[in-house]
Structure 1
Amino acid sequence: MADTSKEQPLHLIKRLGSYITIKFSNLFSISLHSMDPRSIGAVAGLAVAVFFTWRLLRSPSGSQRRQRKRQAATPGTSGVNTQSNASLISSGVCSPSDDNRAQDVVDEFFQPVKPTLGQIVRQKLSEGRKVTCCLLGVILEESSPEELQKQATVRSSVLEVLLEITKFCDLYLMERVLDDESEKRVLAALEDAGVFTSGGLVKDKVLFCSTENGRSSFVRQLEPDWHIDTNPEIVSQLARFIKYQLHVYTFRTERTAANVFNASSLEQFFGSI
């Protein structure tokens, strides 16, 4: 009589094999250049799992064929053969419980890999290599040059995103100020927040001007892939010169152009809050 206790794991392995194949194809739909070492390790582990599943599927099926041939060649065992064949047929039927168990095992092992903030930033910026960004209302809590004459405060919630941008982008920060003291306050606030310690941003890339038009001129001279600003007029003026822009608004506005995106904050645009 065929050992059905050995055949049941075989069918479970077959279910696992089919689900693993699906997971494998879904995982490779992610672009390789956006994977971190942990994701690449998951792919390697998945490949090993598929290989051993394939080996397990080949071995039992071959032994079963040999066993059936031996049983067919042995005379006087028709009753045993009949019972054995019935067991093989019944064991070949796919039961819902087998499918559910296989799916549960695979789903538990291959949990979706959550993308890192760095991967999200690169994806959102479409691999742009140069970014310009105004300070007021985006990096700083203050929203006007007059406020900078009293204080400058870096928004803590934006720091993580800002540092990720500096890791792979050439970032320039710029703002309109009314006096030299305001410049010093801004630079001191950025330094205290640790913006310059990562190595991606230096003080020379923090630019100051006395007019809003001066900021537009900075952007056009630098020719960034992305510009981030709170002033809708500047965003509108630069729309035909800059590839992409992000308008950080105080009050929600309509999208003015196909290459202009809207968000309530820099961190909200990258989904970190």
Structure 2
Amino acid sequence: MAEASSKDDLLQLIKRFGAYLTLKMSNFFPISLQNLDSRSVGAIAGFAVAIIFTWRLLRSSNGHQRQQPKRQMPAPSSSTSNVGLNSNEQSIPSGVCSSSEDLRAHNVVDEFFQPVKPTLGQIVRQKLSEGRKVTCRLLGIILEEYSPEDLQKRATVRSSVLEVLLEITKYCDLYLMETVLDDESEKRVLSALEDAGVFTSGGLVKDKVLFCSTENGRTSFVRQLEPDWHIDSNPEIITQLARFIKYQLHVAPIRHERSASNVFSSPSLEQFFGNI
């Protein structure tokens, strides 16, 4: 008898679960479900219940039973036991059980419909609007240094930008570029990028790190490459390229007014992609 009762309870719970799932899906897909007949909607709900949720429901139910502590009670007399059992059965309203079962079904469905957090790779592709070629300045964006004079002393890759940078190289044809004053600065930059592991992913090679002696040289590089996106910290270059490049990102500590509709701004490359 106890086993039959348990099966009936499970059947009722699955029925409530299916009804709520159908309602939830009608809210989630309002147009498509209106065009379906009741048999199609029932099939969708039944399939989702059978494949996705039933095993979780059974698992959570079994886990709950296992977690209940066992209490040993002295064996009561038969007359006392019968009286207590009848009293307990009468004291539990049927509405309470029904509400509890409905709540369990609702909670499982609500958990399934929670929004899924996108991965960094998905965010990069979305932010870049499916652009496949990107050019990016090094100073102040990839490197901690801010001037060509700094590169004559040292070159340091910003650790916070590495994850985003490597994700861009997986999806885009990336070119890094910078103005330098001597050959030693070039070697110093390449060594810093190599030590940081930028070239190990296979998406970026040393031949795609370009150097020039003037800011105008960098502008010329960008126009020749014709990228979908250019990332720079020099507002003058951003302005000059606005009518030639589809999208630009101006990286600056202080947010500037947009010089054009296709120019975006952010305090850092990683903040633009929300990776902070």
**Structure 2 length-normalised TM:** 0.70
Q: Which runs of 5+ in 1 are unaligned?
A: 28-45, 57-90
Q: 1:193 aligns with which of 193, 196, 221?
A: 196
Residue 210 (structure 2) pairs with residue 212 (structure 1): no
Match of 1:172, SS?
Answer: strand
Identical pairs, percent: 76
Instruction: Evaluate the alpha carbon distance shift between residue 53 and residue 172 of structure 1 in structure 2; reply closer, same or farther with a 3 A threshold.
Output: closer
Residue 183 (structure 2) pairs with residue 180 (structure 1): yes
Name 1:257's counterpart in structure 2: 260
Name 1:50's counterpart in structure 2: 48
Aligned-pair CA distance for 1:11: 4.6
Aligned-pair CA distance for 1:102: 1.6
Instruction: Evaluate the alpha carbon distance shift between residue 47 and residue 236 of structure 1 in structure 2; reply closer, same or farther with a 3 A threshold.
Output: farther
Name 1:34's counterpart in structure 2: none
- Residue 146 of structure 1 aligns with an amino acid whose one-letter code is E
- How many residues were matched structurally? 219
C-alpha distance in 2 between matches for 1:267 and 1:260: 17
Name 2:63's counterpart in structure 1: none
- Given that 2:134 and 2:228 are in contact with CA atoms closer than 8 Å, whether structure 1 keeps it comes out as yes
Match of 2:236, SS?
Answer: helix
Q: Which runs of 5+ in 2 are unaligned?
A: 30-43, 55-93
- Given that 1:248 and 1:266 are in contact with CA atoms closer than 8 Å, whether structure 2 keeps it comes out as yes
Instruction: Evaluate the alpha carbon distance shift between residue 153 and residue 48 of structure 1 in structure 2; reply closer, same or farther with a 3 A threshold.
Output: farther
Name 1:236's counterpart in structure 2: 239
**Structure 1 length-normalised TM:** 0.71
C-alpha distance in 1 between matches for 2:274 and 2:197: 22
Aligned-pair CA distance for 1:253: 1.1
C-alpha distance in 1 between matches for 2:212 and 2:45: 56
The 5 A counterparts of 1:146-185 are 146-185=149-188
Q: CA RMSD in A?
A: 3.2
C-alpha distance in 2 between matches for 1:264 and 1:219: 22
CA offsets 1:226-255 (integer angstroms, 9 cap, x no match): 110101111111111111111111222122
Match of 1:147, SS?
Answer: helix
Name 1:62's counterpart in structure 2: none
- Residue 13 of structure 1 aligns with an amino acid whose one-letter code is I
- Residue 255 of structure 2 aligns with an amino acid whose one-letter code is R
Instruction: Evaluate the alpha carbon distance shift between residue 47 and residue 13 of structure 1 in structure 2; reply closer, same or farther with a 3 A threshold.
Output: closer
C-alpha distance in 2 between matches for 1:26 and 1:5: 32
Name 1:12's counterpart in structure 2: 13
